Amino acid sequence: MNHPASFSSSRDASLSRRSFLKGLGVTAATAAANGAEALAADLAQADRERPFGPGETAVGFVLDGVRVQARVEPRETLLEVLRTRFGHTGAKEGCDRGTCGACTVLVGGTPVYACMMLAVAADGATIETIEGQAIGGRLTPVQQAFVEKDGLQCGFCTPGVVLSVTALLRKDPRPNEEAVRGACAGHVCRCGSHPRIVAAALEASGVKTASQMEVVSGGRHHV
Amino acid sequence: MSDWPSETRFLGKSTPRIDGPAKVTGAAKYPSDQQPAGMLYGAILRSKWPAARVRSIDLEPARRLPGVRAAIVVRDGERTVRYYGDELAAVAATTQRAALEAIAVIRVDAEPLPFVVDEVSAVRSDAPRVFSDEASNKGEPRTGGQGDVDVGFAEADVVVEGMFATQVEIHHPMETHGGTADFRGDELTVWHSTQGISSVRDGLSDALDLPQSKVRVLCSYMGGGFGAKFGAGVEGVLAARLSREAGAPVRLVLSRFDQSLAVGNRPSTFQKIRLGAKSDGTLKAFSIESYGCAGYAAGGPSAGGSTNSAFPAPYIYRVPNTRTSHREISINTGPAAAFRAPGHPAASFGMESIMDDLALRLGMDPMELRLRNDPSELRRREYAMAAERFGWKAKYAPPGSSSGPLKRGVGCAGATWGGGGRGTQAEMEVNPDGTLEIRCGTQDLGTGTHTLIAVIAAELLGLEPADIGVRLGDTRFPPSGGSGGSTTAASVSPAIYDVCEKAMEELKKASGLDYVRGASWKQACRKLGISPLVVRGQWREGLSSRGAGGVQMAEVEVDTETGFVRLVRIVCVQDCGTVVNKLTCESQINGGVIMGIGYALYENRVVDRATGVILNPNLETYKVPGFGDLPPIDIVLLDMPERGVIGIGEPVTIPTASAIANAVANAIGVRVTSLPITPDKVLAALGRIPGRKNPHEEWKSLFET
């Protein structure tokens, strides 16, 4: 079990394959002897896997560049563990069911709803949170653009949105507005900062954006 | 009238939020982020019955579970619960999961009672009573009016009638209700996600019988409120009680599910309106019979939107003869709470809809009808500006005139809001090294109050916004009021002006210098010696006022085959007196318009009539506007410095749904008479859903009894 992606894909497949092969009396050793190397590797991997729980189990991952370890219950989400064990409260719980995006963190560079991932599934992964973005207090260009363009109001959804935009700009440094909206589509912002969030993301990619608001003199007021 | 400087460096310009860096780095700690040492997790057991007689609650099974440190009932003795989600008991445990497991094993002995959860059924004579001692679920009518409405209608050349309905909207701030309570010795400290730290303090003091001086409420940041977070709430009281019982801090933050049931909503309305006018469009007579439903808690302050005072009709228009009658309906659902511009969006929807129906009958451009009957000179100017920006004259065509399955339409609507404010005090501490901190017992909901204070102080003291330390959200600071009704800016700004002026006076005295602003500030401060200067200021007349208005125009494209409404563009023209900070002002206007879009097209709490259960208690089935739903929003803001500071939060959300509804009616040539305007309602209005009954058939019975 390394990366979460390989965790979810290989685990189910290898378990069923192992039970099938075990039924035929095949082992990793006999498979290797017969030259079925891929099959042998699968079986060896499957043999190393173990069920978790119900007690705590050790997980380790790289959190904002630092190797960390924790003992977690298998049922604990990555979000809970980040917030309660590591004090990374920038990832917020807005719905706890993968709808609002406030808990978004980057796992292996990909935006993930931390409320929908078990902490044990993050074993071995590289995780980035909002706390790890500004190095030495220096805001990233994305963070800077959110401040300058006012891509936030209450700020509760902000850490997640900043991370989704960060991931987008790494893959696509010059996204159009459509791509920005797509990257942010998994985030709910109840304050209604959407237009300023889009402006911030475009600004961070080097596109100059204008305010949509024109202030004009109202003249003297007569009721 | 206003004393604000006319030549400015920061006032009326764009200043990025001074708390922006904290919010984009995760450094900003919200009440739900607080984790004091030894903290326990609280959870609430809620009623699964929409109505029941609760005889007893046995907490022992919960207390026996590992990790459980406290378990309490909300109220001792037998009681009646009146909605699905009503709070019964609460526990505190060492982990969130232990707390959830514990509430699951609490035994409740209860007898389910008959219930009713839809407004129309609730007024039938055989309906179960929400309150058994009431003769009916229907309140007495509150009536009002002026002139002689019968004469007015007799004089009218044209009379139109209509029935309109608005839905229950849920606030759904991103940070759910609650916080963390720490009861130590005889003192209570709470971090509470709130719009009113002082009202939370007073509520907790009452509920726990503690002196107000022994309760401290903290809220530096909070994740949105929109009217639903003024008090301690049941969850706030339970957290404090659990903390007292467990002898440890307790975090009790609601789930999104809880949020949908029990902590407030915008009441539904049903409106039957008649409007009469002369053939030139001059309004002569208006009558309305309306119902508002604030769940089980109809009546009282939570009924916002259903009471006479909070239901402004005939909204903004001048009609010489009016008759109004408003009643409340009780049903077995959770209570209402103030919601951004209480009463106004619903009242606006009914009135602006019938105005367009009238314009159609008169063969008039709907904007012209408004210009003829809107008494506000300012709003009439705003209509002219909006029309030019939007291209109204070129775009407006009689309803249903675009060909093909995709139909374009335009609509407009106006709004008003009082706002205003007073009563705030603020304190400034100036250090000998020139650094300073302003403290004020208000709170920043995300509207940018920290920055508003920094902008004003920087302007007056001749410093930079970054030089101004701002601390809010602590009941130990000088008092302010709740942040609601667009009152914060108008309450706080004058107090900041005053404290700055006083600080400069005191600094002049202490330093012996006669000019202490800007470049002289540090030099003057050095003369303070070793003692910081502490001054207090307070709200005063002449720097803020009330009464903001605005108009909005919407263009939509309706797919008559799917019923889908696509927003093409929204233009918003708005005034708010002195503009303090353009940047945060623009954000608030966007926010109001976007919330109005949700009210127009998506948001609706759905209750199952058979079980009384809320069917969409989450954000995937309760739809709020998202990134894919939003059109360009063009804003024109009138800067009127002579009026002083006026709040902007409320007025901008009011006319959006009305303008969109009128645009949809203009596009398809037939009106959808209830919000939200979902595809099925559009198709039904077009007669494309065979067998679908006109909802008016059902609503009608409300007005026949």
Q: Say whether pLDDT at B307 is over 80.
A: no
Give the H or E element holding residue A196: helix A194-204
Question: Tell me, what amino acid is at B323?
Answer: R
Q: Helical H runs in chain A?
A: 4-23, 28-33, 37-48, 78-84, 141-148, 158-171, 177-184, 194-204
Judged by CB atoms closer than 8 Å, whether chains meet at A156 and B624 is answered as no
What is the interface pTM, i.e. ipTM, of the complex? 0.97
How far apart CA A213 and CA B589 sit, in angstroms, is: 9
Judged by CB atoms closer than 8 Å, whether chains meet at B23 and A152 is answered as yes
Which of the residue ranges A45-49, B54-58, B395-399 would you say has the lowest mean pLDDT? A45-49
Nearest chain B Cα distance for residue A24, angstroms: 42
- A194 CB-near residues (< 8 Å, 6+ apart): A184, B590, B594, B625, B626, B627, B630
- The chain-wide mean pLDDT, for chain B, equals 95
Summarised one tens digit per residue, pLDDT across range B155-190 is 999 999 999 999 999 999 999 999 999 999 999 999
Q: Say whether pLDDT at B310 is over 80.
A: no
Residue B408: the pLDDT is: 97
**What mean pLDDT do residues B569-586 have?**
96
Summarised one tens digit per residue, pLDDT across range A116-153 is 999 999 999 999 999 999 988 899 999 999 999 999 99
And the tokens for B227?
Answer: 């009217």
- The chain-wide mean pLDDT, for chain A, equals 87
Nearest in space to B132 (alpha carbons), one of B296, B303, B278:
B296
Q: Say whether pLDDT at B202 is over 60.
A: yes
Residue A14: the pLDDT is: 45
Residue A221: the pLDDT is: 54
Which of A192, A216, A220 is opposite residue B591, by nearest beta carbon? A192
Which of the residue ranges A25-29, B95-99, B295-299, B452-456 would you say has the lowest mean pLDDT? A25-29
Judged by CB atoms closer than 8 Å, whether chains meet at B638 and A218 is answered as yes
Q: What single string gives the DSSP state of each residue in B201-253?
A: HHHHHHHHT--GGGEEEE-S-----TTS-SS-HHHHHHHHHHHHHHTS-EEEE
Q: Say whether pLDDT at A32 is over 90.
A: no
Closest residue of A to B256, CA-based? A95
Q: Say whether pLDDT at B68 is over 90.
A: yes
Is pTM beyond 0.90? Reply is yes
What's the sign of the alpha-carbon dihedral A164, A166, A168, A174?
positive
Judged by CB atoms closer than 8 Å, whether chains meet at A152 and B20 is answered as yes
Confidence of residue A28 (pLDDT cuts 50, 70, 90): low
B643 DSSP 8-state letter? G
Confirm if B533 and B503 have CB atoms less than 8 A apart. Answer: yes
Judged by CB atoms closer than 8 Å, whether chains meet at B582 and A211 is answered as yes
Nearest in space to B409 (alpha carbons), one of B662, B658, B597:
B662
Summarised one tens digit per residue, pLDDT across range B73-94 is 999 999 999 999 999 999 999 9
Judged by CB atoms closer than 8 Å, whether chains meet at A190 and B627 is answered as no
Residue reference for tokens 């729980």: A53
Q: Which residues in A lie closer than 8 A to residue B24 (C-beta atoms)?
A: 130, 134, 139, 143, 146-147, 152, 155, 158-159, 162
Q: In this structure, how many other beta carbons lie within 10 angstroms of the beta carbon of residue A188?
A: 22
Judged by CB atoms closer than 8 Å, whether chains meet at A92 and B175 is answered as yes
**What mean pLDDT do residues A84-111 have?**
97
Q: Which residues in B lie closer than 8 A to residue A130 (C-beta atoms)?
A: 24-26
Residue B140: the pLDDT is: 85
How far apart CA B650 and CA B344 sit, in angstroms, is: 9
Q: Say whether pLDDT at B204 is over 90.
A: yes
And the tokens for B16?
Answer: 């990025």
Nearest chain B Cα distance for residue A76, angstroms: 9
Q: Say whether pLDDT at B210 is over 80.
A: yes
Summarised one tens digit per residue, pLDDT across range B116-140 is 999 999 999 999 999 988 889 988 8
Q: Which residues in B lie closer than 8 A to residue A95 (C-beta atoms)?
A: 256, 618-619
Chain A segment 20-79 residues within 8 A of B by beta carbon are 73, 75-76
| DSSP-derived pairing of the beta strands A213-217 and A110-113 | unpaired
Which of A102, A155, A211 is opposite residue B221, by nearest beta carbon? A155
